Amino acid sequence: MNAVLWLRRDLRRRDLPALGAAADVAGDGEVHVLFVIDPVLWDGCGPARRGWLAASLRAAAASYDGRLTVRVGDPVTKVAAFAADVGAGSVHVSAETTPYGARRDERVRARLAERGLDWVPTGSPYAVGPGRVLTKDGTPYRVFTPFSRAWREHGWAEPATAPRDLALGDDRSDDRAARRLDDALADCPVGLPTAGEDAALRRWRAFRDDRLAAYADGRDRPDVAGTSQLSPYLKVGAIHPRTMLADLAGSRSRAAEVFTNELGWREFYADVLHSNPESAWHDLRPELGSMAYDADPALVSAWREGHTGFPIVDAGMRQLAGSGWMHNRVRMITASFLCKDLHAWWGAGASHFLAHLIDGDVASNNHGWQWVAGTGTDASPYFRVFNPVTQGKKFDPQGDYVRRWVPELAHVAGAKAHEPWTVDDGYRHGYPTPVVDHAEERVEALRRYEEARR
């Protein structure tokens, strides 16, 4: 009997256990590959995110020999109807554990059960599925370091082998879906990376062979190509973390250790969200529940548009607007500025990032914001207030990153790009003066935190 493979965050053909499970069930029948554009998710995306998903879907379709069906609508009705149309007896997926994804999947599973169709989850977007790494007491971890040790001790499977003699069903996409993808690509305001699993594997291998050795020291420098920039591919599942971890197996280099740790952070935040689904948009730690927040639209708008007058903050926000991506160190700096200089609620920043980052993942994004804000997994971060000037000078020591994204400061040489107020002609091209006094707002942030803690 035919089977359906419903793709979500796994837009690839290699190392995909759900594909193997579908092929095993189908036997001499066909595997029909489906992706459903869910308006609940699609409509909340900014144009760069929609463009990246569209490009990734087109690349995935090519990897499936043009036999990927794309439909638009509520997955609850679309998946069951498609399975019935193609004569499938089962629907195969990579298990989803985000709050929305889990709720949606339960509704789809129930609809399939009404029609006598099997729901078969196999694998997940993670090396170790969320909920599997537990303390000795059988409870989830809330701190990264012990989680990381237990995660490594748990280990993960080898990359899945591709099924042989796979018979794929025809593409049954409708015109509505094709228009959505065409419009998303036409409206995308940024230059996107080359999409697809082949591109992801090329990028991974080039990074592994040429730049991994410098990763431990270079990953915090936004002015150099020190990161892998694989997060957009991980987001859509064009590559699985297990594939990378298999390549790093046995390596004892510091760089491999640090990179594995960064993959571990992704797994940790997914695990935290799985065990605390309300933490997607509510404080993980309730101790700061009485925190006083401001909501000055003009200041938040200045932050979003990259016109705060703090060069490293503005460079990061403009990089986000201009590329759909932002360097991780700068994500922390810009988040700290919004939360602790402008005293805004972390969720306002998290939602802006999720709308525009092509690698935006609710677990990593929102718990990263909570880590900065002091409401998340870090034990005592309330007193950590990033100084945007010293952070800029430390991690962009020659000002190259700032000058790239803030052309009004292109004439300011060296590290002075982080302090245009110290240069006689620093403002001659119209760069704004600082919207707040950082020293004063740091004191105010600490006052608010202490008051909330009391």
Q: Give 14's contacts (C-beta < 8 A, 6+ positions apart).
A: 159, 162, 197, 201, 243
304 occurs within a structural domain: yes
Q: Mark which of 221, 240, 275 sits at the end of a domain.
A: 275
CATH number at residue 252: 1.25.40.80
Residue 76 and residue 133 in one domain: no
Q: Which residues of 335-368 are buried (b: 16+ CB within 10 A; e: fewer)?
A: bbbbbbbbbbbbbbbbbbbbebbbbbbbbbbbbb
Percent helix / strand / coil, the chain, rounded to 5: 55, 5, 40
Residue 300 and residue 449 in one domain: yes
347 occurs within a structural domain: yes
162 occurs within a structural domain: no
251 occurs within a structural domain: yes
H-helix or E-strand spanning residue 365:
helix 362-373
Q: How many domains does the chain have?
A: 3
Residue 13 and residue 136 in one domain: no
Angle between helices 311-323 and 297-305 (to 10 degrees): 70
Measure the CA angle with vertex 45, ends 362 and 82; round to 5°: 90
Residue 64 and residue 152 in one domain: no
Residue 263 and residue 304 in one domain: no
Residue 292 and residue 143 in one domain: no
Q: Mark which of 241, 275, 309 sits at the end of a domain.
A: 275
47 occurs within a structural domain: yes
Q: Map tokens 């794929």 to a residue.
A: 168
Residue 268 and residue 324 in one domain: no
Domain enclosing residue 40, as ranges = 1-124
Residue 145 and residue 241 in one domain: yes
Contact between 303 and 313 (Cβ < 8 Å)? yes
Tokens of 9: 């965050």
Strand pairing category for 31-37 and 118-121: unpaired
190 occurs within a structural domain: no
For residue 453, the model assigns a pLDDT of: 85
DSSP state of 169: P
DSSP state of 239: S
**How far apart (Å, rounded) are the C-alpha atoms in residues 417 and 408?**
10
Residue 413 and residue 324 in one domain: yes
Tokens of 137: 């007491």
Q: Map tokens 């903050």 to a residue.
A: 313
**How far apart (Å, rounded) are the C-alpha atoms in residues 62 and 197?**
10
**How far apart (Å, rounded) are the C-alpha atoms in residues 392 and 313?**
9
173 occurs within a structural domain: no
**How far apart (Å, rounded) are the C-alpha atoms in residues 263 and 255?**
13
Mean pLDDT by 10 residues, the chain (454 residues): 97 98 97 97 95 98 98 98 97 97 98 98 98 96 96 97 94 96 97 98 97 96 96 98 96 94 98 97 90 94 98 98 97 97 97 97 97 85 88 98 98 98 97 98 95 87
Q: Is 377 left (phi over 0), alpha (psi -120 to 50) or beta?
A: alpha
Residue 7 and residue 111 in one domain: yes
Q: Mark which of 275, 300, 315 sits at the end of a domain.
A: 275
Residue 41 and residue 130 in one domain: no
